[in-house]
Amino acid sequence: MSDDIETLQSRLQAQETEIAELKALFAHRCHLTKNLLKIGAALSAEKCIDALLEMIVVEAMSLTNADGATLYIKTPDDSAIAFKILRNHSLDLQMGGTSKKEIKFPPLKLYKPDGAGNEHLVSVYVALTGRTLNINDVYEVDGFDFRGTKAFDKNTGYRSKSMLVTPLKNHENEMIGVLQLINSLDDKGGIIPFSLEHQDLIESLASQAAVSITNASLIKELKELMDGFIKSIASAIDEKSHYTGGHIRRVAEISMDIARGLCNSNEERWREFTLTQDETNELRIAAWMHDIGKISTPEYIVDKATKLETIYDRINYVEAKFEILKRDIEISYLRKHAEIYSSDIKDKDLQIKSLKEAFEEQIQKLTSDLDFLKHMNIGGEFMSDALIERIKGIASTKIIINGVEQNILTDNEFYNLSIRKGTLTVEERNVIQNHVVLTGNMLARLPWPKKLKKVCEYASEHHEKLDGTGYPNGLDSELLPIQSRIIAVADVFEALSAGDRPYKHGKKLSECVKILSMMVKSNHIDEDIVDFFISSGLLQRYAERELNNYQIDPFTYNGVVYDFRDNTDSPTK
């Protein structure tokens, strides 16, 4: 009877031990599953490719207690797998990924010159076949070339033994990389084979990792595609006019220089101003897109170098009319000269002399008038009433063309030559200004993601003024965000300093700063942004990078004399 009780107790103890082991195994599996889920969530959240690849390696090593690991990613041409991450705890080795330490090993070619698979290399074999390899000891396995591994061991004193190599396949079952783990370690640090449990975990991790890599790569590629499209559109707009070829690029660069500077500034005014990475990208795209509406602006308006220019400069037509009038006057003179010369009048010589003087006076006046019109055609900062009256007087000069007497200047020619400032008429200026409305309309039609929802706002507000007199919506300081103000300052300064405009040379720094100061006093642009742009050194660096030498002259701003000609880092006080 006692023997039966002892046997029963022994069985109960064995069952309890087995149950405890099963509980421990279940808890362990649950722990691994939770870790794998956490890792999967973390992989899905990470968008930086380098950080993502490093996370895959770190978590794989942690799950299997591996001492080393290498991650390969297929090259864009699908011809090889390249080293991306290399880690080894024992050797304190960390290369690739966020470490920024370059891995100098060449990519492993997937195929031989004859087209056959390069399957003697274990990582290439896994890449080509899509099968996981679990090797207990790389020194005791046949069929693979481990000369590279053995050479590494010889140079470092390391001993590579157990190895687990698994492919990374995305959701389309496409191989995108290979994960190779080296030397699984037990609790005492001894090298042991990778278990089947380890293999299942790593295969599951590899599947999640491949999808995450594909997603991150797709996001990166879409971002690059979008950036390329944006810059391509901006380039197309600039290329419409060879005079403004670099305007958009320069405005974008100035805008981003100012924005980054303000974010890093310790000045009281800007201490609370910060932009996240997404907000910075939003501003960058807005700056690149601020003139997209000009894509519909006629080239002859964008490129209007003179007042009479349309598809061609009509001053040539005006000049031709003056030549016709001179010819008619000369013909009339020659006819009268011949009549007088052939007549019998007594004061013939005196009349011929008087006729010649009158003729020369007329020709001289026409020459002077034409030279004056050519000069007025160029355009400038201001035209007085007296100059317009002279144009009006010239315009009424009569000429006969095709038997019809008419003014030497048409109404449209007189209207254009009477432009008081610049080369654009009111109507043409409205067309130019309408590019901002078109910018807003075009950008508003695009399905911007939430992180870029304000691109349209910032891009279409660069001609608004703080006093509410700007266009197109007459917004004032209470409604204009800092980002829009930054682009506005960048746009104004670039337009003033640009040396490639058809109607003017690039202004000197002293002239640019004087005009900026006037716009600040008129409450048109943000004073604090202008102050920062000048005093922080951003203006100097831009001038040295983009402006002609003749433009870099000394100027005074807020009582401080700035002189960049000696390339000093600080202004002269």
| Separation of alpha carbons 287 and 248, rounded Å | 8
- Does residue 567 have a pLDDT over 60? no
Q: What is the pLDDT of residue 47?
A: 59
Question: 276 versus 59: which is more confidently predicted?
Answer: 276
| Separation of alpha carbons 389 and 445, rounded Å | 48
Q: H-helix or E-strand containing 562?
A: strand 560-562
Structure-token pair, residue 506:
């690039």
Q: Where does residue 171 rank: exposed (0-12), middle (13-18), buried (19+ CB within 10 A)? A: exposed
191 contacts 184 by C-beta, under 8 angstroms:
yes
| Separation of alpha carbons 398 and 43, rounded Å | 83
| Separation of alpha carbons 233 and 148, rounded Å | 49
Structure-token pair, residue 9:
């107790």
Average pLDDT over residues 206-220: 78
- At 182 the three-state DSSP class reads strand
Alpha-carbon dihedral angle through residues 15, 16, 19, 20, given to the nearest 10 degrees: -150
318 contacts 409 by C-beta, under 8 angstroms:
yes
248 contacts 237 by C-beta, under 8 angstroms:
yes
Dihedral sign computed on CA atoms, order 237, 238, 243, 247 = positive
Residue 425: how many CB atoms within 10 A of its CB?
A: 17
540 contacts 564 by C-beta, under 8 angstroms:
yes
Domain ranges of the chain: 46-219, 241-291+438-562, 315-423
Q: What DSSP string describes 293-328?
A: GGGGS-HHHHT--STTBSSSBTHHHHHHHHHHHHHH
Q: What is the pLDDT of residue 507?
A: 87
541 contacts 509 by C-beta, under 8 angstroms:
no
Q: Which residues pair with 561 in a beta bridge?
A: 556, 572
Q: Which of 322, 495, 453, 289 is nearest to 398 (CA)?
A: 322
- At 416 the three-state DSSP class reads helix
- Domain 241-291+438-562 class? mainly alpha
Q: What is the pLDDT of residue 43?
A: 53
Average pLDDT over residues 192-209: 87
- The per-residue pLDDT for range 299-337, each reduced to its tens digit, is 666 666 677 777 677 888 898 989 998 998 998 889 988
Band (467; pLDDT cuts 50, 70, 90): very high
| CATH topology (fold) of 46-219 | Beta-Lactamase (3.30.450)
312 CA to centre of own chain: 34
Q: Which of 93, 87, 113 is nearest to 179 (CA)?
A: 87
- Does residue 256 have a pLDDT over 80? yes
- At 452 the three-state DSSP class reads helix
- The per-residue pLDDT for range 510-527, each reduced to its tens digit, is 999 999 999 999 999 999
Note every long-range contact of 309-314, with CB atoms under 8 Å and residues 24 or more positions apart, other chains counting. Answer: 309/423, 313/377, 314/413, 314/416
476 contacts 466 by C-beta, under 8 angstroms:
yes
Band (500; pLDDT cuts 50, 70, 90): low
| Separation of alpha carbons 465 and 462, rounded Å | 8
Q: What is the pLDDT of residue 34?
A: 58
Structure-token pair, residue 86:
């290399």
- The per-residue pLDDT for range 398-427, each reduced to its tens digit, is 998 888 899 999 999 988 888 888 887 888
Question: E-assigned strands of 360-454?
Answer: 398-401, 404-407
Q: What is the pLDDT of residue 364?
A: 94
| Separation of alpha carbons 474 and 261, rounded Å | 28
- The per-residue pLDDT for range 146-165, each reduced to its tens digit, is 988 899 899 999 999 999 99
Query: On the CB side of 300, how many CA atoms lie within 13 Å of its CA?
Result: 10
- The per-residue pLDDT for range 179-197, each reduced to its tens digit, is 999 999 998 899 999 999 8
3-state helix, strand, coil in the chain (%, to 5): 55, 10, 30
Q: What is the pLDDT of residue 569?
A: 46
Would the pTM count as exceeding 0.75? no
Which ranges of 396-526 would DSSP assign to H, the alpha helix? 411-417, 426-444, 455-459, 482-497, 509-521
- Does residue 263 have a pLDDT over 70? yes
Instruction: Determine which of 128-137, 291-300, 418-427 has the lowest per-residue pLDDT on average.
Output: 291-300
| Separation of alpha carbons 401 and 404, rounded Å | 5
| Separation of alpha carbons 388 and 395, rounded Å | 10
Q: What is the CA radius of gyration of the chain?
A: 40
Give every CB contact of residue 102 below 8 A, 6+ residues apart in sequence: 95, 96
Band (71; pLDDT cuts 50, 70, 90): very high
394 contacts 421 by C-beta, under 8 angstroms:
no
Q: Which of 39, 66, 86, 73 is nearest to 208 (CA)?
A: 39
| Separation of alpha carbons 209 and 202, rounded Å | 10
